[in-house]
A = this chain, B = another copy of it.
């Protein structure tokens, strides 16, 4: 069957059984004029996968196949597709659709589209009843805007995590001015953090790494010096980090921890007029820029490869939950499983 109407992948059935992956067939959305069918070759393992299937982000549409750091081959393109060519190696990240018409979509803010936001997995395609399924599977079908050609210098298994973790670090860096003459701090060296370090440095910023809980000495040395801080970790003293920032510096939270939130007082912000924000993925334009930067500078994820399958996915989730990953897993060996 050259053009699949179904994909085969590994689904989870409930939060209680979230380390049990079940190999099944499921329907793809109807093929549209702008769609690209992709035969998957690798997929990075993102914290979002675990937050989603373990119930940490609330109710989900089970059964669900997660995975949204997808690299594969475009095997079919719709009649109106202009951005992707059949046979091209391509990637898909965490978002797979937005309205395309609103102010945000027309201004490189499609990840903030207020009209329609489709995640690569777990979102229901309007009027179909079909829930999007992710990249621990044989194929995805994705609108061309959300499909990205992969520069040939980048190795499939090492570039995969850039499709979500990489972009999640890259977008807020460029949107907040990381570059020569700027000081950037990254809090926590994980999947996103290790890309944050790489990209901030590649963009020319003086780049500092802060562990989850910064030693007092460091904080003192770098007082008043940070222009931008990215953080992912939860459970630390925000006010202490804010005191590291330069006047009107930006503290940008990336990713969505499973937490109750943090108490913020105007008093914590007023001493240096710091701004606190959060960032959601990045635009198509930023994705292409990031991939070019990575290709030009020889950047790649620090990846441990795991064989896709019931065992490999279980290992990924169990070890990720313990923080036993340096710094990203990529599921590989798709040809062995999906033939």
Residue A62 lies at the interface, judged by CB distance under 8 Å to chain B:
no
Contact yes or no, A279 B273, CB < 8 A: yes
Question: 0/1 per residue, A261-274, Cβ < 8 Å to B?
Answer: 11111111111111
Q: Which of B175, B266, B270 contacts A248 (CB 8 A)?
A: B175
- Given the interface pairs A261-B263, A264-B264, the reply to whether A275 lies near B277 with Cβ below 8 Å is yes
Count of chain A residues near B, Cβ 8 A: 38
- Given the interface pairs A261-B264, A263-B263, A275-B275, the reply to whether A270 lies near B256 with Cβ below 8 Å is yes
- Given the interface pairs A112-B247, A175-B248, A224-B114, the reply to whether A270 lies near B263 with Cβ below 8 Å is no
Contact yes or no, A271 B224, CB < 8 A: no
Q: Which of B263, B272, B274, B277 contacts A269 (CB 8 A)?
A: B277
- Given the interface pairs A109-B247, A248-B175, the reply to whether A269 lies near B276 with Cβ below 8 Å is yes
Residue A328 lies at the interface, judged by CB distance under 8 Å to chain B:
no
Residue of B nearest to A253 (CB): B266
Contact yes or no, B279 A277, CB < 8 A: no
Residue of B nearest to A270 (CB): B278
Set of chain B residues within 8 Å of A257, measured between Cβ atoms: 266
Residue A104 lies at the interface, judged by CB distance under 8 Å to chain B:
yes
Contact yes or no, A112 B271, CB < 8 A: yes
A10 to chain B, nearest CB (A): 28
Contact yes or no, B277 A274, CB < 8 A: yes
Residue of B nearest to A264 (CB): B264
Residue A221 lies at the interface, judged by CB distance under 8 Å to chain B:
no
A161 to chain B, nearest CB (A): 20
Q: Which of B104, B107, B255, B270 contacts A279 (CB 8 A)?
A: B270
Q: How far is B43's CA from A37's CA once the two chains are assembled, in angstroms? A: 71
- Name 15 A/B residue pairs within 8 A (Cβ), A-sorted: A112-B271, A112-B273, A114-B224, A253-B266, A256-B267, A260-B265, A261-B267, A261-B268, A270-B279, A273-B277, A273-B278, A273-B279, A273-B280, A275-B275, A276-B277
Residues of A within 8 A of B (CB): 103-104, 107, 109, 112, 114, 175, 223-224, 247-248, 250, 253, 255-257, 259-280
